[in-house]
């Protein structure tokens, strides 16, 4: 009987002690204003960041042996400033050394084409107002045309990578065969003058068209005068002889 009484007292003490611990823990939870926790986060950081959790309202609900605590909390996080680095355009990142060389070559080719067009226009402008004169029915260049040819040579030197085609034309007087022969010899005479002026023969091509491709009527002296002419053109990719 004494042992049973002692057992009852011992159990009562344990229950009271447990109740006292529970009341103490609950009071500690209610008195807590803020807690400081350390979490791992991926918000603009690569290390651990410390954040403050402010808990102005705490409601503790106990149902049977389970306890549920709902905490309304306001979390204020101050992330580290985001560092924005200057990076190259994504398109540029795909450029290889080979692609870069191709791009540079394309740019250079475009520049060369522009220069060729400019030279072509300057040829046309000079030959529109002046003519290369030859002796009648001959292919000897008259001295009066040397100044014009020198200007044409200077233009040719500015387009050092371009092929130059020298075209000779006549009027319709005479046979087709003779006219083509004369026009070719006149074109070759101009070509020879260009070579003497410092233009490489590899860049030059002479063609005699004779009486074809007239630019004026052959029925009048003035028209025939216009048809007897030398034209100079820039022709990329032309095979020179």
Q: Read off the pLDDT of residues 129-161 as tens digits, 9 standing for 90 and up.
A: 899 999 888 899 999 999 999 999 999 998 888
- Please provide the average confidence, as pLDDT, over all residues in the chain: 74
pLDDT higher at 107 or 219: 219
Tokens, residue 144: 């009066």
- Residue 234: what are its φ and ψ, rounded to 5°? -90, 125
The confidence band for 73, taking pLDDT boundaries of 50, 70 and 90, is very low
The confidence band for 44, taking pLDDT boundaries of 50, 70 and 90, is very low
- Kindly list the distances between the CA atom of residue 94 and the CA atoms of 71, 90, 101, 180, in Å, as whole numbers in the listed order: 52, 7, 13, 56
160 SS3 class: coil
> Which whole number is the average pLDDT over 60-64?
48
The confidence band for 9, taking pLDDT boundaries of 50, 70 and 90, is confident
How far does the chain reach from its first CA to its final CA, in angstroms?
136
pLDDT higher at 111 or 236: 236
Q: Is 153 exposed, middle or buried (0-12, 13-18, 19+ CB in 10 A)?
A: middle
Percent of the chain with pLDDT over 90: 41
Query: Is the CB of residue 162 less than 8 Å from the CB of residue 119?
Result: yes
Could you give the CA distance from residue 152 to residue 127 in angstroms, rounded to a whole number?
A: 9
The alpha helices in 80-145, defined as continuous H runs, are: 90-93, 97-129
Could you give the CA distance from residue 3 to residue 38 in angstroms, rounded to a whole number?
A: 52
Could you give the CA distance from residue 144 to residue 133 in angstroms, rounded to a whole number?
A: 8
| Model pLDDT for residues 174-232, shown as the tens digit of each residue | 999 999 999 999 999 999 999 999 999 999 999 999 999 999 999 999 999 999 999 99
- Kindly list the distances between the CA atom of residue 212 and the CA atoms of 149, 151, 172, 174, 225, in Å, as whole numbers in the listed order: 24, 27, 8, 13, 14
**Residue 93 pLDDT > 70:** no
| Model pLDDT for residues 74-86, shown as the tens digit of each residue | 444 455 555 444 4
> Which whole number is the average pLDDT over 48-60?
45
Give the domains, in start order, of the chain with CATH numbers: 32-80 (no CATH), 112-234 (3.30.1330.60)
């Amino acid at each position: 009987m004494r042992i049973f009484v002692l057992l009852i007292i011992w159990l009562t003490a344990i229950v009271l002690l447990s109740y006292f611990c529970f009341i103490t823990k609950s009071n500690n939870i209610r008195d807590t204003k803020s807690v400081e926790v350390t979490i791992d986060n991926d918000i603009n950081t690569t290390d651990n960041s410390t954040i403050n959790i402010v808990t102005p309202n705490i409601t503790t609900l106990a149902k049977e042996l389970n306890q549920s605590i709902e905490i309304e909390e306001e979390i204020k996080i101050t992330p580290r400033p985001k560092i924005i680095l200057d990076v190259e355009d994504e398109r540029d990142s795909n450029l290889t050394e080979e692609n870069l060389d191709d791009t540079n070559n394309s740019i250079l080719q475009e520049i060369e084409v522009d220069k060729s067009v400019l030279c072509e226009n300057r040829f046309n402008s000079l030959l529109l107002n002046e003519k290369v004169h030859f002796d009648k029915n001959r292919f000897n260049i008259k001295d009066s045309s040397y100044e014009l040819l020198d200007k044409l040579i200077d233009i040719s030197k500015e387009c050092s990578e371009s092929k130059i085609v020298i075209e000779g034309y006549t009027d319709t007087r005479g046979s087709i065969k003779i006219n083509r022969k004369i026009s070719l010899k006149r074109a070759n005479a101009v070509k020879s003058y260009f070579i003497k002026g410092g233009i490489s023969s590899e860049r030059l091509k002479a063609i005699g068209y004779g009486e074809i491709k007239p630019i004026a009527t052959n029925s009048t002296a003035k028209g025939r005068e216009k048809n007897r002419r030398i034209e100079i053109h820039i022709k990329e990719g032309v095979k020179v002889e």
